């Protein structure tokens, strides 16, 4: 089905068009969200929320933006919200563990993705991927989104600018700073690598 027809049918409430949209974008949405939140269970929930929002707000989609960019925008926004929420819970759990809440599990291990493994990474690359995702998790949010969209999802600078609703030079700057920060964060790991 052609994209304009798909959008028109989505706006008319076609369940078949929505099913096709989900089949087309679910892998990309899930991978993008997973790269940001780094928790498979949360990524599944957030990906579902993305498609619910797409379904609910497709009527307001005016076509001024590409459909793919619009979906990525929703996905990155929802992923960052989930990431912030998890970080806030993590800080709260840490504080309660310091001051003793009477619970042994106050500082929940699920809040720490130390062993996060992206399902798209080959087994022999898992260790390097863990180190990369750990460094990626320490990037400022906008750098993390730009890097994820470019390096992991393969979007062009122009597409990232559309998703992030910013200028091309801003995307270039975000990616440049992300690479610098990753280089610093990974320097120790690669110095020790034989």
CATH assignment at residue 180: 1.10.10.10
Which of 74, 104, 134 corresponds to the end of one domain? 104
> What per-residue confidence (pLDDT) applies to 129?
72
Question: Do 78 and 129 share a structural domain?
Answer: no
- pLDDT at residue 94 is higher than 80: no
> What per-residue confidence (pLDDT) applies to 128?
73
Write the pLDDT tens digit of every residue in 60-82.
887 767 899 999 999 999 999 99
Question: Do 164 and 129 share a structural domain?
Answer: yes
Which of 76, 104, 132 corresponds to the end of one domain? 104
Question: 67 vs 21, 29, 73, 140, CA distance in Å?
Answer: 10, 13, 10, 26
Question: Do 150 and 68 share a structural domain?
Answer: no
5 within domain boundaries = yes
Question: Do 159 and 126 share a structural domain?
Answer: yes
110 within domain boundaries = no
State the Cα–Cα distance between residues 28 and 75, nearest whole angstrom: 10
Of residues 21 and 116, the one with the higher pLDDT is 21
Contact 125, 139 (CB under 8 A): no
Please, where are the H alpha helices in 58-121?
67-99
- pLDDT at residue 106 is higher than 60: no
Determine the structural domain holding residue 192 and report its residue range. Answer: 116-194
Write the pLDDT tens digit of every residue in 142-163.
999 999 999 888 899 999 999 9
> What per-residue confidence (pLDDT) applies to 112?
43
């Amino acid at each position: 089905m052609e994209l304009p027809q798909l959008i028109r049918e989505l706006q008319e409430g076609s369940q078949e068009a929505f099913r096709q949209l989900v089949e087309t974008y679910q892998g990309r949405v899930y991978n993008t969200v997973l790269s940001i939140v780094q928790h498979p269970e949360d990524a599944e929930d957030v990906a579902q929320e993305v498609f619910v929002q797409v379904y609910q707000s497709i009527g307001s989609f005016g076509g001024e933006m590409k459909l793919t960019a619009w979906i990525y925008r929703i996905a990155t926004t929802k992923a960052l919200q989930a990431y912030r929420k998890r970080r806030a819970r993590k800080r709260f759990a840490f504080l309660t563990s310091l001051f003793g809440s009477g619970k042994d599990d106050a500082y929940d291990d699920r809040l720490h993705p130390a062993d996060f493994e992206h399902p798209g990474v080959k087994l022999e690359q898992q260790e390097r991927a863990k180190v990369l995702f750990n460094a990626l998790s320490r990037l400022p949010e906008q750098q993390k989104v730009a890097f994820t969209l470019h390096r992991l999802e393969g979007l062009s600078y122009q597409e990232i600018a559309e998703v992030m609703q910013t200028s091309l030079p801003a995307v270039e700057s975000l990616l440049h700073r992300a690479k610098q920060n990753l280089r610093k964060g990974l320097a120790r790991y690669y110095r020790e690598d034989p």
